[in-house]
Amino acid sequence: MQHFVTVLRAFFVVTPLLSAAVLAAPETPAAAPKSDESLRHLKDEAVRSAGTLTIAGKTLGYGAETGILVVHVKDPMDADPVPATDKTPAPVEPEAGMSYVAYFLGKDPNPTRPITFVFNGGPGSASVWLHMGAFGPKRVVTSNDSHTPPAPYKMIDNASSLLPETDLVFVDAPGTGFGHLRGADKEKAFWGVDQDAHAFANFIAEFLSRHGRWNSPKYLFGESYGTTRAATLAYVLQSQKAIDLNGIMLLSQILSFDNSADEPQLNPGIDQPYALALPTYAATAWYHKKLANPTATLEPFLAEVERFALGDYWSALAQGSQLPTEQRAAVIAKLHDYTGLSSEYIDRADLRINGGVFEQHVLGNGTTGRLDTRFKGESLDPLSKETSYDPQSAAISSVYVSVFNDYVRHDLKFGDDKTYKLWAPITSWDFQHRDPGSPRGRETGATNVINDLATAMKVNPQLKVIMFGGYYDLATPYFAAEYELRHLPVPATTAKNIEIKLYPSGHMIYAHEASMIALHEHAADFIRRTH
């Protein structure tokens, strides 16, 4: 959008001059304005500022850099320049201006200090969520499990910032934040699983060069689709950039899209999403007091549900239409006990409930969130089969967007003439992925980047991975994430490099105060132990 604003501004600047020329010499046709070649290309920008962060009575000074770094599909210096006599401009090669905010502890950056590249998911989401909700030096204040009241909102020093442990670079995906795309087939060049990973790899390599950080311990922190990106990105950095990572932190993980609870009914014969989502259904019903005989504490109850999900329930689903009547009745009774849904509804659904159906029906009146099922709201259509919006997203989005837009302009001194895009206007995302284990790099079906992470860990046996999951996350259920990591094709010695931490929160674990504090402690400890 900003590109078109810039073009329009240029047009309105030229127009008065043309008008004056026409009035002065009406018999002479006005010459058409020459094409401004500078508008065809993106440019790097960077603004530096400084701030302080107070944690436990101790004030830390830091430097910030907010800007845009242009990345290309291929090195533009490899292309021959257009001949001076050529009147037709050469097609602009695809390029993306990726916006970012970087924080460096102290007055002068330490070139051997850990540096962590942080990004959200989407695909096509800006990094404002992790920036202003989890690990930046400032954070927003939101209500725990209900809609945060309208502005004015509150921003405070973030005692859970990771800045004491690592320098931080919050990176906006191509087409989001203050960034733009340019060039022929620009969307195809950047909006896809592999295209996106290569863009981030180019960004990271360029950032390391410009800031003298090649010898720093390096980390990735991705949330949601950002975990998909992190797995692929780790492999690309290693195989194409010769960059070994110290660690990868995965928040609300999804590596295999066959495990999504959103629409498993469109993938008949693949029943595991129903089983892997069941513990989250049970946690949600427990939280909202929809169980007939609830346990006093959550974790022992979930352990029981997990055993059932991988045992009797999985077996029943695998039998399909051959499931014996008595066994079917027993499974339906258990599903009722664990989800609070009626036995009749479960029977009519053929034991298979997707995420949207569960969210719409578990409360009996209203709908739960998808990103965080602790949240609830009014159903837009009480008679619909599935929920049509996410109460958690509606409850907090305005806080993040409003506070960041104020903060970036007033504190970071960037963006006065720009529009910050929370989401890229993606109409088609290329989910095809070239699996490193496939012969000749053959593209796979449903996106699955488990092999990318496994290959990165096998080639770099020192690489450590930690996964953070929320019990109330139905966008990327925690049990599905555990299942994926347990099926990573790596030796047992390498599997020991994987850790799992779970919290009584949702997709955005940091939206729950106690979980945010625990998340920070686990992430900070992970960084301290791995460099």
- Pairing type for strands 155-157 and 138-140 reads antiparallel
Q: Does residue 81 have a pLDDT over 90?
A: no
Q: What's residue 41's pLDDT?
A: 73
* Distance from C-alpha of 181 to C-alpha of 3, rounded to nearest angstrom: 9
DSSP string, 79-124: SPPPPTT--SPPPPPPEEEEEEEEEEESSS--TTS-EEEEE--TTT
Q: pLDDT value at position 14?
A: 30
Q: What percent of the chain has pLDDT over 70?
A: 90
Q: How far is CA 12 from the centre of its chain?
A: 38
The one-character DSSP state at 172 is P
Give the DSSP H/E element, type plus range, for residue 66. strand 58-72
Look at the alpha carbons of 234, 158, 280, 309 in this order and tell me if their dihedral is positive or negative. Answer: positive
> Minimum mean pLDDT among 226-230, 375-379, 390-394, 479-483: which range?
390-394
Domains of the chain by range and CATH? 2-40 (no CATH), 45-258+406-529 (3.40.50.1820), 261-392 (no CATH)
pLDDT at 277: 98
Mean pLDDT estimate for the chain: 89
Residue ranges of the alpha helices (H) in 309-377?
314-319, 325-339, 343-348, 355-361
Note the pLDDT tens digit of each residue in 355-400: 999 999 999 999 999 999 999 988 888 878 887 677 788 878 899 9
pLDDT by residue (tens digit) across 423-452? 999 999 999 999 997 876 667 778 999 999
Task: Tell me the two tokens of residue 358.
Answer: 């569960």
- pTM of the predicted structure, to 2 decimals: 0.90
CB atoms closer than 10 angstroms to residue 377: 19
Average pLDDT value for residue range 291-308: 97
Task: Express each pLDDT in 502-527 by its tens digit.
Answer: 999 999 999 999 999 999 999 999 99
